[in-house]
């Protein structure tokens, strides 16, 4: 999803923004949003959160869009 280093698509920012806010990562992991965007999977693992597999993410998106 990332395009050019430091430049992200709106879709990328929106997706990871929702994850960042929902998991309260500023408080939980002490990481700011800009740093999180650079390596979200790593930050999630460091916070003890395993990212969803693509199929899981698609299912969650369908469930929560209802």
> Tokens at residue 49, please?
């959160």
Residues whose CB is less than 8 angstroms from the CB of residue 2 and which lie 6 or more positions away in sequence, other chains included: 8, 9, 12
Domain assignment of residue 25, yes or no: yes
Neighbours of 16 (CB within 10 A): 20
Domain assignment of residue 40, yes or no: yes
Domain assignment of residue 39, yes or no: yes
Domain assignment of residue 2, yes or no: no
Compare 16 and 65 and report the one with higher pLDDT. 16
pTM for this predicted structure: 0.69
Compare 61 and 6 and report the one with higher pLDDT. 61
Say whether pLDDT at 30 is over 60.
Answer: yes
Q: How many domains does the chain have?
A: 1
Domain assignment of residue 1, yes or no: no
Domain range holding 59?
A: 10-64
pLDDT confidence of 65, banded at 50, 70, 90? Answer: confident
Domain assignment of residue 50, yes or no: yes
Please write the tens of the pLDDT for every residue from 48-57: 988 778 898 8
């Amino acid at each position: 999803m990332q395009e050019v280093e430091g430049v992200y698509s709106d879709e990328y920012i929106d997706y990871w923004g929702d994850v960042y806010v929902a998991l309260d990562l500023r408080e939980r992991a002490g990481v700011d949003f800009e740093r999180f965007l650079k390596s979200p999977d790593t930050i999630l693992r460091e916070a003890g959160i395993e990212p969803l597999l693509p199929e899981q993410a698609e299912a969650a998106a369908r469930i929560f869009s209802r």
